[in-house]
Homo-oligomer: A and B are copies of this chain.
Amino acid sequence: MVVTDPDILAGYRHDRALDPHAGMPAALIRPLTTEQVATVVAWAHERRVPLVPRGAGTGLSGGATAQDGALLLSTERMRAITVDPVTRTAVTQPGLLNAEVKRAAAEHGLWYPPDPSSFEICSIGGNAATNAGGLCCVKYGVTTDYILGMEVVLADGTVARLGGPRLKDSAGLSLTKLFVGSEGTLGIITELTLRLLPAQPQQSTVVATFSTLTSATAAIEAVTARLRPSMLEFMDAVAINAVEDEMRMGLDRGAAAMLVARSDAPGEYRTQEAAIIAAACESAGATEVFSTEDPDEGEAFCAARRFAIPAVERKGPLLLEDVGVPLPRLGDLVTGIAEIAERRAVLISVIAHAGDGNTHPLIVHNPADPDETARAHQAFGEIMDLAIALGGTITGEHGVGRLKKAWLPDQVGPEVMELTRRIKDALDPHGILNPGAVL
């Protein structure tokens, strides 16, 4: 369970944020049971040893970056799951991957909706710790909407059970919801009770291209004003071309933006919804609109969208942003990002969960070029400043971690920081849980 081999430890120092300031942990612990987690946390609490929890290490904000002398507590071996088709719930340990939860649910004809792009490699515990989102959220909500209960090990090693397999429960404070998205700063999630839905119906897919960013963002508003698509994704010209370079799908290389939208309305109504989406895109000025009922063809376009990040990454390492704004400000955000890219002379590609107003600007830079790297980091901060100025958030679904914490006070204000600090101090008085993250 305890690993101190420096070669193995080295592989656990970073998550996908690849923070160059990651420390050297004292040891890695890979427990199998809640009792083992409780023992480790109680030990760390008594000795005031910092403890950094991690799931699959796919976080993009440095929430699992190792700290000098800390224990790394990886939940990767906690992989049990049971699905109850009658209550439509699953009870799972945190180390299971999101895709594995989906598969376990599917064996019973059920569906766990949240679908981060990383769903094949990210853990369900990490999803809960960051309140992860995904592509389906525009219709189906985010991780917190699917967590009915959890078991959590508190800072002193106490095991607490929050909520449970009840669809409605107003008994006491909403502690389950407080721990979702707490990024390992309040406790270690050792079990989750998830709400499942009946299997998703078949989807229709609409792909629209636009010659201007303005017409694309107008189409997004026009679609969401009329209905709730099951997906509504945006790619800019850079992303379209990067994907086309790799996949040769015949995407319109001259387009300024492309939307991929889907409907999973039941029965015949799906075709009607797809037609409404197509018409909304056309009246917003789409240059081309293509609709398909064919699941494979639809899946190919979604795969193209999911592939946008690795495709753009071929141009160079990315700083991956996650800012969100209220939907009417999406146009301002996208335009403002283009201005930042020009001012800082860096390539920034924007893809977005457009229906949620949640964007992922991808800042390309060459780490061997210190000047470009500096400009990329300037742009990274300026994009967050812009999102805050537009009434938005510095993180829609990745979490604050260590990478974004300098911007959190600007977004939420001193009163909320003080409130957060009070709750943190009340629950983790010695500050051993994921120190340096969020706060």
Contacts and interface: CB of A to CB of B under 8 A. Distances in A.
A86 B355 CA distance: 11
Interface string A386-405: 00000111111111100010
A3 to B, nearest CB: 30
Given A141-B145, A269-B269, A174 B178 contact: yes
Interface string A143-183: 01100000000100011111011111111111101101110
B172 A412 contact: yes
Interface stretch (A12-20, A44-52, A296-304, A324-332): A324-332
A203 interface: no
A11 interface: no
A328 B174 contact: no
Nearest to A271: B267
Contact of A423 (B228, B322, B391, B426): B426
A170 B197 CA distance: 23
Interface in A58-92: 84-89
A427 interface: yes
A138 interface: yes
Given A198-B227, A269-B266, A413-B160, A138 B167 contact: yes
* Interface range, A side: 35 or more
B328 A168 contact: no
A168 B396 contact: yes
Contacts of A412: 161, 171-172
Interface stretch (A21-29, A129-137, A311-319, A366-374): A129-137
Central interface residue in A132, A137, A166, A408, by most chain B CB within 10 Å: A166
B167 A137 contact: yes
A349 B227 CA distance: 41
A399 to B, nearest CB: 5
A221 interface: yes
Contact of A408 (B171, B181, B358): B171
A86 B226 CA distance: 10
A70 B124 CA distance: 46
A216 interface: no
Contact of A133 (B145, B168, B172, B395): B168
A325, A412, A427: most-surrounded residue (chain B CB, <10 A): A412
Nearest to A141: B145
A265 interface: yes
Nearest to A394: B171
Interface stretch (A249-257, A278-286, A338-346, A414-422): A414-422
Contacts of A180: 174, 177
Given A174-B180, A268-B268, A167 B356 contact: yes
A36 interface: no
B400 A438 contact: no
Contacts of A169: 324, 393, 395-396
A420 B265 CA distance: 41
B416 A426 contact: no
Most chain B C-beta atoms within 10 Å of own C-beta, residue among A132, A162, A181, A322: A181
A1 interface: no
A39 interface: no
A400 B174 CA distance: 12
A164 B391 contact: yes
In the A-B complex, the 4 residue pairs with the closest CB atoms: A267-B269, A177-B177, A426-B426, A168-B396
Interface of A: 84-89, 130-133, 137-138, 141-142, 144-145, 154, 158-162, 164-175, 177-178, 180-182, 185-186, 197-198, 221, 224-228, 265-269, 272-273, 322, 324-328, 353, 355-358, 391-400, 404, 408, 411-413, 415-416, 418-420, 422-423, 425-427, 438
10 contacts: A86-B221, A87-B328, A89-B326, A133-B170, A142-B168, A158-B415, A164-B326, A174-B178, A198-B226, A423-B426
